[in-house]
Structure 1
Amino acid sequence: MSEAAEKLKFRVGGMDCAACVTKIENAVGRLPGVSTVGVSLSAGTLTVETAAPVAKGAIEREVKALGYSIGRTGAGAPAGAARDHDHDHDHEEHAAPIDGPWWRTRKALLTFACGGALVAAYLVGLAVPAIGHWAFLVAMLVGLVPVAQRALAAALRGTPLSIETLMTVAAVGAVFIGATEEAATVVLLFLVGELLEGVAAGRARASIKGLANLVPKLALVEKDGGTVEVPAEQLAVGAIILVRPGDRVAADGVILEGHSSLDEAPVTGESVPKAKGIGDDVFAGTINGEAVLRVRVTAAAADNTIGRVVRLVEEAQESKAPTERFIDRFSRYYTPGVLVVGALVAIVPPLLFAGQWSEWIYKGLAILLIGCPCALVISTPAAIAAGLSAGARRGLLMKGGSVLEALRGIDTVVLDKTGTLTEGKPVVTDVVGIGRSEAQVLSLAAALETGSSHPLALAILARAKADRVPLPPAAGAKAVAGKGVTGRVGGVELFLASPSAAAAMAPFDAGLRTRIDGLNDEGKTVSVLLAGGEIAGLLAIRDEPRADAAEALQRLKADGIRTVMLTGDNARTARAIGAWLGIEVMANMLPEDKQRIVRTLQADGRKVAKVGDGINDAPALAAADIGIALGGGTDVALETADAAILHGRVGDVANMIALSKATMGNIWQNITVALGLKAVFLVTTIIGITGLWPAILADTGATVLVTLNAMRLLGWKGR
C-alpha cells in the first residue's frame, strides 16, 4: 500500500487531446483512496492526491488499461520508473508518445496498416467485385478493433461516451446499412486525425521540455586540485564549478572568482547580456560570455531556477481556468445531446415522414461523428498551456490558467516603490564641491566610508569606484549615532553629516539651504561634508527609478489601467519619484495600510493587481485579485504571489496583461472554429450534401486546426 494523504506524480505517454485527459481523470478518480486527480496534456503528467491508502500499482493498471504508458516521476519514484514510458509497450496502440520520429510510433504504424489494408481492399474490389464488400470490412476492422478496445476500456472506467465510442457506433452502423467502403475510409481518416493531433500535442509539449533542456547535462567540478566532469543533476549545494566561455551555467550559484557577461535570455527573456562579477548570482541555463568563472552552487538541480520554473508551469497547466471548467461542464451535456440528436435524425423522418431508413440512419451516424467534442474540449487547455509556456520562456510565470485568464480583467495596478519602481539600492546622483573639486569631495567622503556596509556608504563607495577617484587612508573613522561619520584624512578632521548635524557646526548661507532644499524636493537624501570645520561639499543620494519604469507606466495608462504607487517612504521622497514617473502616490504606508488600500479599491469595483517584492508586501499581494512578485526568481517571490516576473522589468506587467488578452482571444477563435465547423457540417449532412468521411474530417480537422492555432501563442514575444 502507498501511504495515505500523499501526492504522487507520473509521466503519461500517448495523450494527444483533451478526451484523453477526461478518460484518465475519470478512471483514476474512481479508485478508492484517491481524492483529487490533475492531468496536464501539455506536460504529459498525472498528479494524484490520496486521502487514504491506494493499492500498489492500481493507478498504473488503470492508465495502462486505457492504452497509455505510465511511469512514476519525482523523488518517490523507483529507480528507472521515470523512463517507463519509453519501455512499456503494453496497450500502446493509443500510447506511443510522439517524441521521436512520428512515423516510428505504434499510432503511425496502425495508421499505415489501416491505409495499406484500404488500398488492398480497393484493388481486390476492382479485381473480384463479388468479395469487395468483405475486403473493405477487413480493412475497416484493422483500424477499428483497437479503437473499439479503447472505447470498451474507457466505458468500463467511467467514460462511456468517448470519441472512440462514437467512432465505433458510427462505423459499425455504416456496415449494417451497406456503407462498408465508406466506413473503412472513415476509420482511416479518424486514425490520421489522431496521428496529427499526437504530432501537434508533442510539439506543444516540447516547449516545456525545451526549457528543461536549457541546463547542461554535465558540469566541471573542482576536486582534489583539479576538475572532473559530473552529471549536473548530481551537483551538491556548496560544490565549486568552473564555467568556461560559451558554456551554459550548470546550476544556480554565486560567483567566487572572475568577471564576465552572461546571456540570461534563455531564463529571463532579457536580450542584453549582464555584466557580473564576484558575489553576483548566476542562474542555471544562462550562457557565460568571455571569461572563466568559479561558481559556488547554491541550489540542487531540482530547486534551481529552471527546475522551479518548469515545476511551476507544469502545476499551472494542471489547474483549470474558469473558461476551461465551463467547457468541461458543457461537454458533459453536449456529447449525450449529440447522441440524442443523431438518434432523432435517424428515427424521426422514417417514422413520421416516410423517409428512407438507410438514408436517415446514414445521416444520423454522420451527426455522431460531427458531434465529437474533441476540438471543443481542447480549445481552451491548448491555448492556456501555450500561453503559460510562452510566458515562462520570457520570464513571466503565472500559477495556473485561472490567473492567466483573470489578468485580462485588471483595471488597476498598485505598485510598491522600493525595488519595484526603483532599483532598490541608493546611488549618488549629485556631488557638489564648495571650495574643492567634486572629485576631491567624493574622494574624502569615500575614504571615511571605507569598510562600512551601510547602504548610503556603499552608494558613495560605488560612485568613487565608478569615477576612479583615489581613496586616501582615513584614521580614526567612526560613526556618530544619528549624525554621520567622523575621521581624519591627511591630518584634516572630516565630518560627513546630515544637514541638521552639519548646520550645528558650521553656518549655512541662504544659497546653500536653497540648494539642499531643492535636492530634498527631488527625493534625494543629502549629506554635507565638513573639512576642518568648514563646509567642503554636498553629496545627494537617491534610490533611482528603474530605467523602464516611466515608459511601462505610460503603457499601462494607454491601455486604460489606473496606476498607484504605495510606499512606506516619506511623502516628500515619494512625491518626487511619483512626479518623475507620472503616477498617483500614497506614502508613509505600513504593510497593513497597503492591504487596506487594495481592499478599498476592490470595494469600489476595481480589479486590482498588486506588484511588489513578495516579502514585505505579502498582505497586499494576498488581498489583491492578482499578486505579482517582481524580480529575482527567489523562492519567496515565486511562492507568495499568483504570478512572478523573473527579470524585474516593470514593463512586463503590461506584457503579462497583454498575454492574457492574446490567450483569451485565441480561445474564442478556437471555440468559434470548433463549433462553426460542426454547425456547417451538421446542416450540410442533414440536407444531403456531405456524408460520413467529411463528418470525421470536420472533427479531426477542427481539432488539428484548434491545436495549431493555440501553438501560435508559443511565438508570442510581448514588447
Structure 2
Amino acid sequence: MTSPAAQTRYRVDGMDCAACATKIDTAVRRMPGVEDVNVSVTAGTMTVKHALKSDLAAIEKKVTGLGYTVAQVKGKTEPNARPAQDDAKDDHDHDGHDHADHAHAGHDYAGAAKDDHDEEVEGLHGHDHTPASGPWWNSAKGRLTIASGAALAVAFAVHTIWPATGPWAFIAAMLIGLVPIGRRAVMAALAGIPFSIEMLMTVAAVGAVIIGAGEEAATVVFLFLVGELLEGVAAGKARSSIQALTTLIPKTALIEENGTTREVPAESLSVGATLLVRPGDRVPADGEITEGESAIDESPVSGESVPVRKGVGDKVFAGTINGDAVLRIKVTAAAADNTIARVVKLVEEAQESKAPTERFIDRFSRWYTPGVVVVAGLVAVVPPLAFAGDWNEWIYKGLALLLIGCPCALVISVPAAIAASLSAGAKRGLLMKGGAVLEGLGKITAVALDKTGTLTLGKPQVTDIVSFGRAEADVLRLAAALETGSSHPLAIAILAKAAADKVKVPAASKAQALGGKGVKATVEGAVVFLASPQAANEAVKLSAEQTAEITALNDQGKTVSLVLVDNKIAGAIAMRDEPRPDALAGLKALTDSGIKTVMLTGDNKRTAAAIGKQLGIEVRAELLPEDKQRIIGELKGQGLTVAKVGDGINDAPALAAADIGIAMGGGTDVALETADAAVLHGRVGDIAAMISLSKTTMANIKQNISMALGLKAVFLVTTVLGITGLWPAILADTGATVLVTANAMRLLRWKGGA
C-alpha cells in the first residue's frame, strides 16, 4: 500500500532558462520525501509531489540556496493529487464524464487559478520578469547587470589612465558580477549539478584571469549577465501573456438585491447573484442573461471580431463587453471559477508538462554539457602536451569552448515555443493539456466527429413551415400558443422561431398533453391539436400529397409536427438539429489539409445521412459507445493517427481510444478533464486551427534547434582555428538564446491558420 502523498505548488522567482529549471528539479528531487518534481520556466512555477510529512521549509531553503526566491501558492495542499503529466494520454479516466452537466465542485481549477492570481498580485512584486515588478532596471538582475557594466566602464577608464593598475581594476569589475554567479555554481554543485552554466562561466572567467586575460574575463561576465537579463525579459513576456487575460475582468460589479443596486468587488460575486451590466461595461462574471438583448463583443476572449447578438437564456463570459443595451445577468460561476480563471490555470498546468521533443532535448543536454567540458579540457591540454603547443593559447581556446558549450539556447528552444503556442491557443479558446498534446495534434491524419453538439448545434431548430390550408404565420402562431411554457426541445424550437419572426402568440386554455400523440388546447375559441403525423392521420385522414410532403421532410432527417384546427389540417412544422454555421467550412479546412473525416453518431441513419450529405462527410450511424470505440480502433489499425471530437456525453470510450481526444464545448460547460484538448467556443473550424497551430509550432521548434546548434557548430570551428575567442563565444551563446526566444515569441502573435 503506497503512503498518501500531497502536492504543493510554488511560484519561483528568477528562472530565466531551462538550465535553471533543471538545477531546481535535480536539487529538489533529492530531498527526503519528494516523489516527483515539475518545474516550468515559462509558467514560473514548481509543483512538488511529496509525502505528507515532508519538510516544505527545507525544500524552499534548497531552492533559495540556488539563487532563486520561492513562494508557496496560496491554497490547499491536495492529498493524492495527480501531478501534471508528461504525456497527457497516460492517466485520463474518460469514463463517466458528462460534459453537459459536468460538476466543477470539488475541482481546484478555481481556487488554484484565483490563488495564482492573488499570489502574482500580492506576493510577487519583487519578481524579476512579471509585469507587476515594473521595469527591468528595478529587478535584482537588472541592478547587478548595471553595476557590472558600470564597474567595467570604470576599469577601462582606470586602465587608460593608469595602465599598471588596469589588470586589478578588471579583476575587481569581474568579481562584482562573478561572485553571485560563483555562489550559485557552488550551491548547484552541492545539490548534485556540477555542470551548470554558472560553473562553466566561473571556470572560464577564473581561468581567463590566470592566463592574464582579465579584461576579457570582466567583459565576458558582463555579457553573460546581459544575456541572462535578456533571457529573463523574454521569459517574462511569455509568462505574462496568458496572465494578461485576468486583466480583462473588471474589479467591480453592479449587483441587484431587493430592488436596489450597489457596487461590489467582482471577486466577491457568488453563484445566483443578479448583475446589472450597462452598455459599454465589461461583464464581470460568467452568467446567463435573464433580461435584455444586446450585441456582446467577445473578441477579448474568443478572438472573434464581430459582436454576437445575445438575449434571455444565452450565456455570457467574464471579460466580454456589453454593446448597446442594459442587461441583467445571473451569475453561474464564482470569480475564481470563471472561464478566464480556468483557462489561465489550465494553460499554466499545460506549460509544466513536457512534449516528447522537449524530453529528448533535456536528455540530450545532460550528456551534451559534460561532453563539452571533456572536449574543452582535451583542447586545453592535448596540443601543449602532445604537440608542444602554447599553453596560454590552448587554455584560452578551451575556456572559449566552455562558453560555447552553454546549453541555454538549445534547452530553451522547445519549451519557449510550446509555452507561446499554448498561450496563443488559449486566447482563441483552443486549450491543450501540455506539450505532448500540442505536438501530437500536428501528426493527426484522421478526425472522427460526433454529430449532435459537435457538428450540429445540439438543439432542434424550425427549418420548414408548410401550409395545408392556413397561412404559414398562422400555423406558427397557433403551434407557439400550445407550446408556451413547455421546456421540451421541440417546443423551445417553435417558441424561438416565433420570437425570431416577432409573431404575437395568443393565449391557450384547457391545455392537455396526450402521451405519445401531442398537445391539445383551446386557442381563440378553436380546438388546436399539435400532433405527430401518425396521431394526426388517426384524427383526420391525410391526403397523398400531404403524406408525400411529410415523407420528403422525414427523408431530410427532420421531425414533423402537424397543426390541426377543429379537426382540419392547417399546416406542418419541420424541425432538425442543424449544422453549426461553420461546420461545412471547418470540415473543408480539415480535408484540404489531407485529413480524413468521418461522422460517428448514435442517431438514426436517415437523419445522419441527411446531415452528412449536407456537410459532405462520411457517415457511420446508429452506433453505441462501444461501436464508436471499435471504429476508432479500426482507423488506427489502418495506420492513421486519429483525433476524436465529441461533447463527451456518450463519447468517453472513443475519446479514450483515440490518439488525441478533443472536447467540444461552450464556456463553463466544456468538460476540460475528459479530453486531451478542448475547443472552448464550439467552432468546428477551430479543430483545423488547432492542428495548424501544432504544425506551426513544430516548424518553429525545428528552426530554433537549427539556430542553436548551427551557431555553436560555427563558433566551435572558428574557436579551434583561433579566429574567435572568449567575447564572441559568450556573444554566440547569448545571441543564440535571444534569437531562439524571439523566434518562439512570434507564436504569441498567431491568429489562426484554419
* TM-score of the two chains, using structure 1 as the length reference: 0.95
Q: 1:21-72, CA deviations, whole angstroms, 9 ceiling, x for partnerless residues?
A: 1111112211111111112211211111113411141222112111112212
State the partner residue of 1:44.
Answer: 44
Q: Structure 2 counterpart of 1:347, which letter?
A: V
Q: CA deviation at 1:708?
A: 0.6
Cα distance in 2 for residues equivalent to 1:261 and 1:381: 39
State the partner residue of 2:634.
Answer: 600
Cα distance in 2 for residues equivalent to 1:96 and 1:629: 34
Q: Does 1:355 pair with 2:389?
A: yes
Q: CA deviation at 1:74?
A: 3.1
Corresponding residue SS for 1:71: strand
Cα distance in 2 for residues equivalent to 1:113 and 1:451: 74
State the partner residue of 1:73.
Answer: 73
Q: Does 1:331 pair with 2:365?
A: yes
State the partner residue of 1:165.
Answer: 199
Conserved in 1, the CA contact under 8 Å of 2:74 and 2:119?
no
Q: CA deviation at 1:507?
A: 2.8
Q: Does 1:310 pair with 2:344?
A: yes
Greater RCO, 1 or 2 (C-alpha within 8 Å, sep 6+): 2
Alignment of 1:456-475 (within 5 A): 456-475=490-509
Give the alignment partner of residue 557 of structure 1, picking from 591, 596, 605: 591
Conserved in 2, the CA contact under 8 Å of 1:253 and 1:295?
yes
Identical amino acids, percent of aligned pairs: 67
Corresponding residue SS for 1:213: helix
Q: CA deviation at 1:97?
A: 5.7
Alignment of 1:57-206 (within 5 A): 57-76=57-76, 86=124, 99-206=133-240
Cα distance in 1 for residues equivalent to 2:74 and 2:364: 34
Which deviates the most, 16-25 or 525-534?
Answer: 525-534
State the partner residue of 1:274.
Answer: 308
Count of aligned positions: 712
Q: Structure 2 counterpart of 1:8, which letter?
A: T
Corresponding residue SS for 1:152: helix
Corresponding residue SS for 1:544: strand
State the partner residue of 1:423.
Answer: 457
Alignment of 1:199-598 (within 5 A): 199-223=233-257, 226-598=260-632
Give the alignment partner of residue 726 of structure 2, picking from 687, 692, 717: 692
State the partner residue of 1:639.
Answer: 673
Q: Structure 1 counterpart of 2:593, which letter?
A: D
Q: Structure 2 counterpart of 1:440, which letter?
A: D
Conserved in 2, the CA contact under 8 Å of 1:96 and 1:107?
no
Q: Structure 1 counterpart of 2:208, which letter?
A: A
Conserved in 1, the CA contact under 8 Å of 2:19 and 2:197?
yes
Cα distance in 1 for residues equivalent to 2:323 and 2:22: 47
Cα distance in 2 for residues equivalent to 1:308 and 1:635: 12
What stretches of structure 2 of length at least 5 have no aligned partner?
Answer: 78-114
Q: For residues 59 and 647 of structure 1, do their structure 2 counterparts lie closer, same or farther at Cα, with a shift above 3 Å needed?
A: same
Q: 1:490-531, CA deviations, whole angstroms, 9 ceiling, x for partnerless residues?
A: 333332222222223333333222222221222111122222
Q: CA deviation at 1:85?
A: 5.4
Q: CA deviation at 1:535?
A: 2.1
Q: 1:445-467, CA deviations, whole angstroms, 9 ceiling, x for partnerless residues?
A: 22222222211121112212222
Q: CA deviation at 1:243?
A: 2.1
State the partner residue of 1:22.
Answer: 22
Conserved in 1, the CA contact under 8 Å of 2:291 and 2:312?
yes
Conserved in 2, the CA contact under 8 Å of 1:13 and 1:97?
no
Corresponding residue SS for 2:361: helix
Q: Structure 1 counterpart of 2:453, which letter?
A: G
Corresponding residue SS for 1:307: helix
Q: CA deviation at 1:665?
A: 0.6
Cα distance in 2 for residues equivalent to 1:313 and 1:693: 39
Cα distance in 2 for residues equivalent to 1:457 and 1:228: 38
Conserved in 2, the CA contact under 8 Å of 1:4 and 1:53?
no
State the partner residue of 2:10.
Answer: 10
Cα distance in 2 for residues equivalent to 1:594 and 1:273: 37
Q: For residues 5 and 83 of structure 1, do their structure 2 counterparts lie closer, same or farther at Cα, with a shift above 3 Å needed?
A: farther
Q: Structure 2 counterpart of 1:709, which letter?
A: N
Give the alignment partner of residue 620 of structure 1, picking from 632, 654, 659: 654
Conserved in 1, the CA contact under 8 Å of 2:556 and 2:607?
yes
Q: 1:180-212, CA deviations, whole angstroms, 9 ceiling, x for partnerless residues?
A: 111111111101111111111111112012012
Cα distance in 1 for residues equivalent to 2:268 and 2:122: 21
Q: Structure 1 counterpart of 2:61, which letter?
A: R
Conserved in 2, the CA contact under 8 Å of 1:69 and 1:84?
no
Conserved in 2, the CA contact under 8 Å of 1:70 and 1:85?
no
Q: For residues 579 and 332 of structure 1, do their structure 2 counterparts lie closer, same or farther at Cα, with a shift above 3 Å needed?
A: same
Q: For residues 61 and 87 of structure 1, do their structure 2 counterparts lie closer, same or farther at Cα, with a shift above 3 Å needed?
A: farther
Cα distance in 2 for residues equivalent to 1:522 and 1:266: 39
Q: CA deviation at 1:646?
A: 1.1
Q: CA deviation at 1:537?
A: 1.3
Q: For residues 529 and 419 of structure 1, do their structure 2 counterparts lie closer, same or farther at Cα, with a shift above 3 Å needed?
A: same
Q: Structure 1 counterpart of 2:284, which letter?
A: A
Corresponding residue SS for 1:611: strand
What stretches of structure 1 of length at least 5 have no aligned partner?
Answer: none
Conserved in 2, the CA contact under 8 Å of 1:72 and 1:82?
no
Q: CA deviation at 1:149?
A: 0.7
Which deviates the most, 474-483 or 642-651?
Answer: 474-483
Cα distance in 1 for residues equivalent to 2:261 and 2:292: 17
Corresponding residue SS for 1:57: helix
Which deviates the most, 364-373 or 474-483?
Answer: 474-483
Cα distance in 2 for residues equivalent to 1:451 and 1:127: 94
Q: For residues 197 and 648 of structure 1, do their structure 2 counterparts lie closer, same or farther at Cα, with a shift above 3 Å needed?
A: same
Corresponding residue SS for 1:158: coil
Q: CA deviation at 1:615?
A: 2.4
Q: CA deviation at 1:635?
A: 5.5
Q: CA deviation at 1:84?
A: 7.5
Cα distance in 2 for residues equivalent to 1:56 and 1:83: 23
Which deviates the most, 23-32 or 567-576?
Answer: 23-32
Conserved in 2, the CA contact under 8 Å of 1:155 and 1:161?
yes
